[in-house]
Amino acid sequence: MLLMLDFSTQHVVKDAADIVWVYNFASAYNTAISTSAGYRDNATHTHAAIIEYFQTHEAGPAGIVLMDFVGVDEANGYATRGKEVVDTLIANNFKWLARRNEEGYGVASKRIDRMYTKLEDTREKIATECPDVAAGFEDDLEEAKADIDSIKAEVDSLYEACLLTESYEVEGYGDVIRLLSQILEDAEAAQAAYEESVPVGTVRADGEKEVSRIYSVTGEQLDAPRRGAVNIVKYTDGTVRKVRY
């Protein structure tokens, strides 16, 4: 019986097709023939063993347990502990559900964190590498954030209801990651097109215009212009030029 509990409590699978039904037997008699006293006496041992098992082991699936004198802690002088063993099994089931819920939430939270991190990385990369077109992609990024917020709200709701399992898949995770990659790709293409449209000029006389920021052609912000290379120069009046120093 205890070996069966060892198996059932550790039998955790992700695919429902791999589930094995476990029937455990606490029901028996220890006399030469079947008698009520024999069943009562057996229950004093098997029920005590089940109770002790779940007091000393981590919660897990108990399977279907067949037993005698259910709901009766004492019968004709025998300490059957039938109510206590039922309460123990019910408590184990709730502990197991709570454990699965926590594990599922942990896995889901990691994926949600990855989506938020990808969002912020994409936002920062567009701001630094695609500065001239970044404003045109704010709405796209906000829509992506709304999608992530919605996914998080659903996961939180399932967690509150204790309905998550270790096999829970975050629906929409792949779609959001692909969407953010596409937004970045589109921003990079738009920035490249913008730079192609800006004519290459020469260095203006000092003091004619005040430089606000300088970027390389790949979008990297520079502390100083790169000599002999084309730089993207943004002035305080909002104009942008390609300049070879």
> For a pLDDT cut of 90, what percent of the chain falls above it?
63
Minimum mean pLDDT range among 9-23, 131-145, 166-180, 187-201: 187-201
pTM of structure: 0.66
**pLDDT for the residue 65:** 94
**pLDDT for the residue 216:** 83
Determine how many CB atoms are found less than 10 A away from the CB of residue 50: 25
DSSP state of 75: B
| Res 8 pLDDT > 50 | yes
DSSP string over 181-200: HHHHHHHHHHHHHHHHHSPE
**E strand residue ranges, the chain:** 23-25, 64-66, 200-201, 211-215, 221-222, 230-235, 240-244
Report which residue type is found at 83: K
Q: How confident is the model at residue 206 (pLDDT cuts 50, 70, 90)?
A: very low
Phi-psi group of 71: left, alpha or beta (phi > 0 → left; psi -120 to 50 → alpha; rest → beta): left
Determine how many CB atoms are found less than 10 A away from the CB of residue 135: 11
Who wins on pLDDT, 229 or 11? 11
**pLDDT for the residue 181:** 97
Q: How confident is the model at residue 208 (pLDDT cuts 50, 70, 90)?
A: low
Determine how many CB atoms are found less than 10 A away from the CB of residue 110: 10
Residue 195 burial (CB < 10 Å; 0-12/13-18/19+)?
Answer: buried
- Could you read off the pLDDT of 36-67 as tens digits, one per residue? 999 999 999 999 999 999 999 999 999 999 99
Contact 81/51 with Cβ under 8 angstroms?
A: yes
| Residue 137 neighbours by CB under 8 Å, 6+ apart | 126, 130, 183, 186, 187, 190
Interstrand relation of 230-235 and 211-215 (parallel, antiparallel or unpaired): antiparallel
